[in-house]
Amino acid sequence: MTEYTRRFRQLATNVVHAGAPHPHIEGAVVSPIFQSANYLMADEAAYDEVRYLRLSNSPSHLSLQARLSVIESGEAALVTASGMAAITAAILAHARTGDHLLTQRTLYGGSQSFLDRDGPRFGLSYTAVDASHPESWGEALRPETRIFYLETISNPLMEVGDLRAAVEFCHRNRLVSIIDNTFATPVNFRPLEHGFDVVVHSATKYLNGHSDIVAGAVVGSAASVARVRDLLLHLGGSADPHSCFLFERGLKTLALRVERQNDNALRLAEFLSRRAEVKTVHYPGLATDPSHRFAADLFAGFGGMLSFSTGDVRRSEEFLDRVRIPLHAASLGGTESLVVRPARSSHLGQTPEEREALGIGDDLIRVSVGIEHIDELVDDFGRALSGE
């Protein structure tokens, strides 16, 4: 009988070996792709024990899910077809019609659109709060409040809330705490170790790290993940075996990639903060950043994401045209650096007024810092800012 129970002491070892099949299947060092929709029947006692691809229980899924649960310090994990599948399934699995959520003020555009447009159709309402001011959260509570939904590092302003206070608040008020840990990754922060209930990821980003799949993940207690899995069986958001293969391959270098991206992003943020052409830099690793006190308290690193404003949309567009190393493209978390204006990508679905109210100016540039040599990145940004 194949087991997926391997685990080690250090994260850098676990991203390579945790959950690997034992014994190795036919002696293969790399787990093969199990491109089969169905499997021979055995002694199944429940529906979700039937071996079927939509039930996320192929060998491709089982090994990856075991590894994810280990590196995020959870009891169980579920891989999904996309980050949005993970986010929406996690919320809907823990909410019922008529429930109310608390969310932080700035969220990824897809999550925001789901809450605004689809939430009411499911009978859900929400109130956005400032994640850095816990003294204000009680005012937003209702008798029907069930969930507090947060992002470890917000998109695109890189805000870090008072996460310790959020856990205490949820425990005190019997709320389910769900946190999107995509930007921080388990290399920098593992929310379950600090008391959060459910962690979600867009694995398209750092966990895969090579910009070649779309996938998501949910990690938490066995009971929480089971609730999400039961819902996902009906929604059909299962990941395909080839995506699982690429996801597991990318995960093996997660620690190396993120450590380099942490270093590169801090160096680049410090450089940008000294440039006269830059109005504001958003990066929690900067001592002057409003989120630094929370991030420094909890994180092992400050992540590979930053954003900055030039004060003028035209200047921002000219910068995007001039840079040579970063690619002008949406998404993030790959080995290559990417630059984009959120007003034209992740938050395009919001009106200029809605974005401005959140502090997301149309001149804001978001940078996903890759693993290139930092000296060349800094030189390239400096040249583009100077208009060369």
pLDDT tens string 312-332: 999 999 999 999 999 999 999
Residue 339 lies in a domain: yes
**Beta carbons of 215 and 82 less than 8 angstroms apart:** yes
Check pLDDT > 80 for residue 1: no
Active site residue 212: no
Residue 231 lies in a domain: yes
Residue 220 lies in a domain: yes
Question: What does each C-alpha distance from 271 to 103, 111, 342, 372, 380 come to in angstroms?
Answer: 33, 32, 21, 16, 12
**295 with 240, same domain?**
no
How many domains does the chain divide into? 2
Check pLDDT > 90 for residue 49: no
Check pLDDT > 90 for residue 236: yes
Mean pLDDT across 286-307? 98
Residues 6+ apart with CB under 8 A from 174: none
Global pTM value: 0.95
Among residues 204, 223, 251, which one ends one of the domains? 251
**276 with 247, same domain?**
no
Give me the catalytic one of 67, 146, 162, 180.
Answer: 180
Return mean pLDDT, the chain.
95
Residue 1 lies in a domain: no
**291 with 208, same domain?**
no
Mean pLDDT across 171-187? 98
CATH number of the structural domain spanning residue 27: 3.40.640.10
| Tokens describing residue 20 | 């690997």
**245 with 263, same domain?**
no
Distance between CA atoms of residues 370 and 352, nearest Å: 29
**Beta carbons of 301 and 142 less than 8 angstroms apart:** no
Residue 42 lies in a domain: yes
Mean pLDDT across 196-220? 98
- Give the pLDDT confidence of 52-63 residue by residue, as tens digits: 889 999 999 999
Check pLDDT > 80 for residue 348: no
Closest residue by Cα to residue 91 from 140, 144, 148: 148
Residue 44 has a CB neighbour count (10 Å cut-off) of 10
CATH number of the structural domain spanning residue 302: 3.90.1150.10
Closest residue by Cα to residue 65 from 325, 251, 194: 251
Mean pLDDT across 35-48? 87
Give me the catalytic one of 4, 67, 99, 108.
Answer: 108
Distance between CA atoms of residues 206 and 305, nearest Å: 11
Mean pLDDT across 78-104? 98
Looking at residue 359, its pLDDT comes to: 81
Residue 2 lies in a domain: no
- Give the pLDDT confidence of 327-345 residue by residue, as tens digits: 999 999 999 999 999 987 7
Residue 120 lies in a domain: yes
Distance between CA atoms of residues 134 and 374, nearest Å: 37
Give me the catalytic one of 54, 252, 275, 279.
Answer: 54
Strand partners, 33: none
**38 with 102, same domain?**
yes
The answer for 142, left when phi > 0, alpha when psi is -120 to 50, beta otherwise, is: beta
**278 with 335, same domain?**
yes
**55 with 153, same domain?**
yes
Mean pLDDT across 239-264? 98
Looking at residue 350, its pLDDT comes to: 73
**366 with 237, same domain?**
no
Mean pLDDT across 214-223? 98
Reported as a pLDDT band with limits 50, 70 and 90, residue 364 is very high
Looking at residue 43, its pLDDT comes to: 85
Reported as a pLDDT band with limits 50, 70 and 90, residue 287 is very high
Question: What does each C-alpha distance from 206 to 99, 111, 198, 307, 313 come to in angstroms?
Answer: 32, 18, 18, 17, 29
**268 with 238, same domain?**
no
- The percent of residues in the chain predicted with pLDDT above 90, rounded, is 88
**78 with 138, same domain?**
yes
Q: Which residue has the higher pLDDT, 73 or 45?
A: 73
Residue 5 lies in a domain: no
> Cα 337 to chain center, whole Å?
17
| Residue 173 domain boundaries | 11-251
**231 with 261, same domain?**
no
Among residues 251, 269, 298, which one ends one of the domains? 251
Among residues 251, 270, 303, which one ends one of the domains? 251
Tell me: cis bond preceding 241? Omega within 30 of 0 counts: no
Active site residue 180: yes
Q: Where are the beta strands (DSSP E) in 135-257?
A: 145-151, 176-180, 198-202, 216-220
Check pLDDT > 90 for residue 346: no
Looking at residue 45, its pLDDT comes to: 81
Active site residue 149: no
**218 with 335, same domain?**
no
Strand order in the sheet with 280-282: 280-282, 305-309, 364-368, 338-340, 327-328
- Give the pLDDT confidence of 116-127 residue by residue, as tens digits: 999 999 999 999
Looking at residue 347, its pLDDT comes to: 73
SS3 113: helix
